[in-house]
């Protein structure tokens, strides 16, 4: 018998992450890395005080009501649109995410995806692998330049700023951005970043980078109307969340030449991908891996563990989203 609190690790993670949890808790871990339905997750959460999740598990009011013992929900992702935070707060459940530790890695990837898109890297590789390369020609896979082109960033949080820094300092790109709030001048100036209205951002973009967090207000923030504002030579790169871009409208825009190309790491309804995007030649597709370097995935996972341990042992979770629930006396 043990009186340690019980926690569930909802997806496979690094062994030492689970070992750290075992020092504090009775742990059940999804070692087979099965993708559970909502009902299976609820079943496995019975009797659990805490849960370690990823960006894939949905934590909503129905689940919380079915798991009244749950006290902490800690995700190893920075995005938390899969968690109903107000519903957790209303039930005294602590929620944490994993910001900061993935910022530079994710910015590296956003920049790489934009460059691959602008310079048609995967499209030309597929051509070569198909054995179609017979001769050199002056315009073979000629794309657009990145250096000196206008970098337009939609969403200017930590990751947006890290991308702006790369573009401005490394590639001499004029940087424009749109965000609900404007950066303080002392933050914007070293990034060379200028705030503009969303429509102006779209009109002026040579390379549009989308890094805005998903919320109902951000749903289809870039759809048919917005794509029509862009230059036919422009590229669009989305490393934010599926749903921020209207994928069906994007597929149509790519087919019609409304914009030149797209780089996509996130999709509406992923892991399903819109058939029109799969069929398009001028799109670089990756399976939601922007933060996937080993050191960063380790750091994200350990940050979730730090939060879980603190939340269930009277400490201060370092990156809680609703720390106010800890100060509330139990009902």
Q: How far is the CB of 224 from ligand DGY (least distance, A)?
A: 25
Does 149 sit near ligand DGY (CB under 6 A)?
no
Rule CB under 6 A: choose which of 5, 50, 55, 263 binds ligand DGY.
55
Most distant pair of Cα atoms in the chain: their distance: 75
CB of 302 to ligand DGY, least distance (A): 14
Q: Would you count residue 78 as binding ligand DGY (CB under 6 A)?
A: yes
Q: Give strand pairing partners of 208.
A: 152, 236
**Closer by beta carbon to ligand DGY, 276 or else 318:** 318
Does 276 contact ligand DGY by CB under 6 A?
no
Shortest approach of ligand DGY to residue 167 CB, angstroms? 21
Is residue 241 part of the annotated active site? The answer reads yes
CB of 213 to ligand DGY, least distance (A): 9
The residue among 102 and 218 lying less far from ligand DGY, judged by its C-beta, is: 102
Our finding on whether 291 is near ligand DGY (CB under 6 A) is: yes
Stretch that binds ligand DGY, among 71-79, 83-91, 173-181, 195-203 (CB under 6 A): 71-79
Are 277 and 287 contacting, i.e. CB atoms less than 8 angstroms apart?
no
77 binding ligand DGY? (CB under 6 A): yes
Annotated catalytic residue within 71, 119, 166, 241:
241
Please tell me whether residue 70 binds ligand DGY under the rule CB under 6 A. no
CB 263 within 8 A of CB 116: yes
307 binds ligand DGY (CB under 6 A): no
Tokens of 208: 């549009």
State which of residues 26, 42, 79, 112 lies at the interface with ligand DGY (CB under 6 A).
79
Return the bridge partners of 53, or none.
Answer: 75
* Number of CB atoms found within 10 A of residue 231's CB: 17
Alpha-carbon gap, residue 131 to 209, rounded angstroms: 33
288 classed as catalytic:
yes
Stretch that binds ligand DGY, among 75-83, 151-159, 228-236, 304-312 (CB under 6 A): 75-83
CB of 78 to ligand DGY, least distance (A): 4
- The catalytic site residues sit at 241, 270, 288
Interface residues with ligand DGY (CB under 6 A)?
Answer: 55, 77-79, 102, 291
């Amino acid at each position: 018998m043990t009186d340690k609190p019980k926690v569930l690790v909802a997806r496979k993670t690094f062994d030492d992450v689970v070992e750290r949890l075992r020092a504090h808790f009775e742990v059940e871990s999804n070692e087979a890395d099965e993708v559970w339905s909502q009902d299976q997750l609820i079943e496995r959460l019975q009797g659990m005080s805490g849960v370690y999740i990823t960006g894939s598990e949905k934590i909503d009011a129905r689940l919380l009501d079915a798991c009244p013992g749950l006290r902490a929900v800690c995700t190893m992702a920075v995005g938390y649109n899969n968690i109903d935070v107000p519903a957790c707060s209303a039930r005294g459940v602590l929620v944490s995410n994993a910001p900061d530790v993935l910022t530079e890695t994710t910015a590296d990837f956003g920049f790489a995806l934009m460059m691959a898109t602008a310079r048609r890297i995967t499209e030309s590789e597929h051509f070569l692998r198909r054995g179609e390369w017979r001769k050199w020609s002056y315009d073979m896979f000629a794309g657009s330049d990145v250096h000196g082109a206008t970098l337009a960033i939609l969403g200017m949080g930590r990751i947006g700023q890290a991308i702006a820094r790369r573009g401005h300092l490394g590639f001499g790109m004029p940087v424009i951005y749109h965000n609900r709030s404007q950066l303080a001048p002392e933050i914007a100036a070293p990034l060379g970043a200028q705030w503009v209205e969303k429509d102006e951002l779209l009109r002026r973009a040579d390379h549009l980078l989308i890094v805005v967090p998903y919320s109902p207000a951000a749903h289809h923030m870039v759809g048919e109307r917005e794509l029509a504002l862009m230059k036919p030579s422009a590229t669009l790169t989305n490393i934010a969340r599926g749903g921020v871009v209207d994928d069906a409208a994007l597929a149509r825009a790519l087919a019609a030449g409304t914009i030149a190309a797209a780089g996509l790491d996130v999709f509406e309804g992923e892991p399903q991908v819109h058939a029109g995007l799969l069929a398009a030649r001028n799109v670089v597709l990756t399976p939601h891996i922007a933060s996937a370097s080993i050191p960063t995935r380790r750091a994200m996972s350990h940050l979730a563990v730090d939060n879980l341990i603190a939340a269930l042992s009277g400490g201060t979770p370092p990156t809680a989203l609703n720390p106010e629930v800890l100060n509330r006396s139990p009902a």
